[in-house]
Amino acid sequence: MARPQLPEPTIAMQNSRHSLPKRRSLRLQGYDYRNSGVYFVTICTAEKRPLFGTVRQGAVHLNELGQLADRCWKQIERIRSGIELDAYIVMPNHIHGILLLSAEAAAANASAAARGPTAGSLGAVLAQYKSTVTKRSRFTPSPLTGPIWQRNYYDHIIRSASSLDRIRQYIVENPARWMDDDLHVG
């Protein structure tokens, strides 16, 4: 049965006579993303453009920007305490990754920026990652014009070992399924 389409709620802008549609959150309502846990995330490029490379014969071939995105991903656990990386892959227009946040992650990372996502949360980690890639891309021999990232990210809270195993397999097999991938554009 199809889900009914509900109208988007609106909120009034401060100091304005206009109202804008409120963006629907992709996050699980009421869940604290500073909690320790295992998270599967997908971060897409702006307009799902293939900015990071290509897939040929079931293998990803990263270009300069893709290699930068890969290096910055690997640095997440060195920059932020209480975070471990698991399986991940940089695809031409998105990144899939599994992050493990320990109980100490929120407290250890509480000195992060006061604006934006809650300090120490999954959102803060990913915002810093996206910002780092964007800033460092400006110093590459072929800097991009325009945004690199789509707003927000997709997440799934992994709650069992069997789910973790399935997601790891999905990540590893992602290049082989590229032509059938929902994120494949072209």
pLDDT(113) > 90: no
* Mean pLDDT, range 147-170, rounded to an integer: 94
d(CA 52, CA 73): 13
pLDDT(132) > 70: yes
Confidence at residue 119, expressed as pLDDT on a 0 to 100 scale: 62
Average pLDDT, the chain: 80
pLDDT(162) > 80: yes
pLDDT > 70: percent of the chain: 69
Phi-psi bin for 12: left (phi > 0), alpha (psi -120 to 50), beta? beta
Q: Name the residue ranges covered by the structural domains of the chain.
A: 30-176
* Mean pLDDT, range 115-137, rounded to an integer: 83
pLDDT tens digits along 46-103: 999 999 999 999 999 999 999 999 999 999 999 888 899 999 999 999 999 999 988 6
Confidence at residue 96, expressed as pLDDT on a 0 to 100 scale: 97
State CA 53 to chain mean position distance: 17
Confidence at residue 82, expressed as pLDDT on a 0 to 100 scale: 85
d(CA 105, CA 122): 10
Which structure tokens are listed for 115? Answer: 């604006």
Confidence at residue 181, expressed as pLDDT on a 0 to 100 scale: 73
d(CA 91, CA 113): 29
- Top CATH class of 30-176 equals alpha beta
Q: What are phi and psi of 20, to 5 degrees?
A: -115, 150
